[in-house]
Amino acid sequence: MASSPRQLKGNLQLAVAGEALADVSAFVSSMVLNTARESITVPGVLSTGQSSTVAGQTNQTLTVTFHSGMAAADMWAQMYEIVTDDDALADWSATWDDGAVGPDNPQFSGSVDNGNAAVLLSLDLGAAVGSLRQQTITLPLQGPADVATTPGP
């Protein structure tokens, strides 16, 4: 049965690498995992004279839009702790639908231990007077995300 497009109802958990994951889902309004491959051009050979393109290294980014006040329990505090940590690395876990992890609701994750932590390179705080405090951050991953289709321990 084909799945139908639906509103994001999943969750996002983040933490400074090595610390316990914290659920920040309540602050997230958009979350996108982008996978792109580098393009490698192979020069033409004498027999054909045609060049070709092959897929190179895989690069992934996690782009998150969140709303946050300045309370100590809000998402800005979690993100600030990550961006000011020596390595600015975050362990993370995400699903795009609510409910149990399974074949129709895979869990994507990364950690320093697995070589695919997220790297937080910048964070802006504040907003224009009278506007919604919203920000979009893009976190490059150190390696391809892990994908689980069965609940973990």
Query: What's the pLDDT score for residue 5?
Result: 53
pLDDT digits (tens, 9 = 90+) for 7-45: 567 799 999 999 999 999 989 988 999 999 999 998 887
Here the tokens at position 145 are 């995300």
Here the tokens at position 54 are 């092959």
Distances (CA, A) of 143 to 18, 36, 75, 80, 115: 17, 12, 24, 23, 6
pLDDT digits (tens, 9 = 90+) for 65-84: 998 888 888 888 899 999 99
Query: What's the pLDDT score for residue 1?
Result: 42
Q: What's the chain's average pLDDT? A: 88
pLDDT digits (tens, 9 = 90+) for 117-134: 999 999 988 767 776 788
Query: What's the pLDDT score for residue 47?
Result: 73
Beta bridge partners of 107: 148
Domain parsing of the chain, residue ranges = 11-38+52-148
Q: Give the residue with greater pLDDT, 146 vs 73.
A: 146
Angstrom distance (rounded) from CA 19 to CA 5: 34
Query: What's the pLDDT score for residue 8?
Result: 61
Give SS3 for 35. strand
